[in-house]
A and B are shown apart, each in its own frame.
Chain A
Amino acid sequence: NAGVTQTPKFRVLKTGQSMTLLCAQDMNHEYMYWYRQDPGMGLRLIHYSVGEGTTAKGEVPDGYNVSRLKKQNFLLGLESAAPSQTSVYFCASNPGTSGGEQYFGPGTRLTVT
């Protein structure tokens, strides 16, 4: 059981470039989430999904898009990267029952120059 995995681990982009972050979970969880973590600000929710084929906006969705074509995968896209998107990005999953623990991936450190 790998749990939640994220690729890549590190990435440097130039302003205006695009990229996709991949999250995969092997726990058959219904819900998946993308967060960004900035110093002193905890984790802020970007987008989330409550099942295959569904997505919804979180607290800070602007500049990001997501897709959940398969239950086990949740993709986060940046169409035109900006320096303000420099951050550490975490993916998480949850079984989908009421409440409960979120299981996090190891994170992707993204720098936009």
Chain B
Amino acid sequence: TQLLEQSPQFLSIQEGENLTVYCNSSSVFSSLQWYRQEPGEGPVLLVTVVTGGEVKKLKRLTFQFGDARKDSSLHITAAQPGDTGLYLCAGDSTKAAGNKLTFGGGTRVLVKP
């Protein structure tokens, strides 16, 4: 069974501060996706990283895929209240039928104004 562990589980910061969320596994994934979920809604895809060592930027969000494709991180620079939400990482294995994803437990981020 493939597992993805996210840390921390909860993060509360002031507006303008930086934060990093980690997603770790002992398994190799063909790609890793990051989703954000707001209260009362379903998760929405932010980014997919595919190549080991890849770095992708989405405005103030920076996503990195580990060289061995077992881990990933999400860094938010100068966080804003609009960044508040539940961040989920999800791994896609080439061996998984039906494009099944393995989800981490999530990191709940609260950005206070």
Cβ-defined partner of A92 (8 Å) among B42, B97, B105? B42
A45 touching B100, Cβ below 8 Å:
yes
Please indicate the chain A residues that have their CB under 8 angstroms from the CB of B48 in the complex. 99, 101
Of the four ranges (under 10, 10 to 19, 20 to 34, 35 or more), the interface on chain B belongs to 20 to 34
A42 touching B105, Cβ below 8 Å:
yes
Please indicate the chain A residues that have their CB under 8 angstroms from the CB of B103 in the complex. 35, 42-44
Of A33, A58, A101, most buried by chain B (CB within 10 Å of CB) is A101
Please indicate the chain A residues that have their CB under 8 angstroms from the CB of B106 in the complex. 40, 42
Chain A nearest CB, measured from B12 CB (Å): 16
B88 touching A42, Cβ below 8 Å:
yes
Please indicate the chain A residues that have their CB under 8 angstroms from the CB of B45 in the complex. 101-102
Q: Knowing A40-B9, A42-B88, say if A106 contacts B99 (CB, 8 Å).
A: no
A43 touching B30, Cβ below 8 Å:
no
B64 at the interface (CB under 8 A from A): no
Q: Knowing A43-B103, A96-B99, A101-B48, say if A106 contacts B40 (CB, 8 Å).
A: yes
Which residue in chain A gives the minimum CB-CB distance to B9?
A: A40
Q: How far is the CA of A48 from the CA of B99 in the complex (A)?
A: 10
7 of the cross-chain contacts (CB-CB < 8 Å) are A33-B100, A41-B105, A45-B100, A48-B98, A50-B97, A104-B44, A107-B41
Which B residues are closer than 8 A to A by beta carbons?
A: 4, 6, 9, 30-31, 33, 40-45, 48, 88, 90, 92, 97-101, 103-106
